[in-house]
Chains A and B, each alone.
Chain A
């Protein structure tokens, strides 16, 4: 590892080394808010350094790329980490989290996500993925006092361990088949007479199971509602946005490297996408718990993203990345609102506790409604263009049936997104007051809200930026 390699990895090093430093110093100097704020500062430092420090190499150790694409996602996940920490400041205080440990873990997660998005080999992919998955095991159960949190953490651990097994096995089979970990070669090596080697096919089957678990596609989604419900709200936000987004960011070059071989996977991918869209939608309909509803809705969103991924080409890739960002902002915002309402004895989740809350806390409830409407894809909010891009790409690449199912799912989704809004605003009953928000939370929510609105009105600049950073095929 040369100096230029380290220079190229500077953002990730800031995150990881900063986390280590916080962990070590925190052992002698236990404190909360200063550490969390240090974490926020470190995240933004990482984002800025990823933006302005130009690397001299294009790849580090044959595992992680330092392309504009990787840098873009490094910035994105660093900012996400920073916003999550900012959001957690008060939550951590209320729940008496150990500040240094919590901050360090979230920073590690950020580093892992940015490494995963930058992975240019299967080993790098495995490392990046496991880095933040391991961290998430702890973070989900961070609220040690609550049984439901511990249960969620345990479930995620058991399932995650199995999925990791599948992932490792799948990578091993692909290596055995193609003789390389490095991405373009590993995928090109799978090819024989224009078809995929059987061993490679088996490897991909294993890989798909692991991916299906990580991004919660039906039928590997069953853990999602339990974990979403049990985890602390800011952690759920991170899990729902960054963890899944980083996985998709890694999948885009993976599928691009696969080239025409994708056709052999298409039937299975289509089945997964269709099952996710239909199953998630149906299961979200009867929900009466906001976090569980968002869990199922994320299953549907992952179905859309898979559809975009299958569509391929610059159009599909651009649509997927745009959708990821838009979905991430709205989801982070929604969990942010839940976080800001959280009290020491728990978070408001049931619709019953939200009843008439719109009249008590109009600003936060309006923001929550905007996030939900954006998730539903209602113009002029950002979600509309996200969905539009995905379905447009799908129709252009002749996935008519899937696009139709997706559009129908989006139609039905309005029903379950509107229900909490109706509960918030349309049923007047003196709601009990929840916790008043504080400045940092409002800052994060304002950022999310403005972005949801801005990207809905002017999606052009971001789409342009995405077109520029797309990995060259």
Chain B
């Protein structure tokens, strides 16, 4: 217990990044993630890193690109409208196969939306987001401890697969304060950075670029990226199961929505309804296989999101018609209570006559 400290989401994320060896942070103000650059502005000076506030989101993501090309662990963070501006840079990072961490503390949208928590950026995050044929691994933590641990892990994933990685939180994840254990980084074997641009002394020069005019070469580049994404699909998926052993109805939710759903599951259990929760921790690659396994036993799914329904597509794809799937969403920055979800679960339970 002694090691636990009360930490705000954004601060925990920043501290974890520093513990993971991130020494370059590039940001731009946008609510609700401002505490992250503010924390970095102080901390980077202490650890001898670099904190830079760019003149725009486009500048900051391209600073990340530059830092990654020179071999430093670099990150940036923003919130929904800012992430839209960063998409060009993320596409370039993916094409150039440079590791980086991008944090999206989602807020309401579209447009400038509002600053309340929301999960409307699921498509943008999991489908690549920018132009071209690429994907980025996306992690959606649901507690501050997990946010801390996943941030460290995300840097390793980025280095192993040479890819930009995204952490998808929302206003709630960024702002809540929870006891957290600030673990030290565990060293793992990472591939040598044999692509970085550090001056061609006594070795052939290296080129990092994304413009490949030769069509066949470009095709090969695309297939190479595809092979990498397939590798990630096999190795990365993570999910959490909660009270699923005897469940007849599974709620699928991620991030803040999953926290609410967990409360709803506990309430529903008190009412005698056998409800469980499946929480994808990686949104891309999606835990498709886990859902397919569960669909062999359970025939009723309820997807709950703080959007009008985006992750439900991935759940439906995973189910492939083998189970019934309903959706409940609250977009626009509304954070429903567990009570509300319990009511929805109860209604669904009765409508579908789940117990026969």
Whether chains A and B associate is no
Name B residues whose Cβ lies closer than 8 Å to a Cβ of A.
Answer: none
Name A residues whose Cβ lies closer than 8 Å to a Cβ of B.
Answer: none
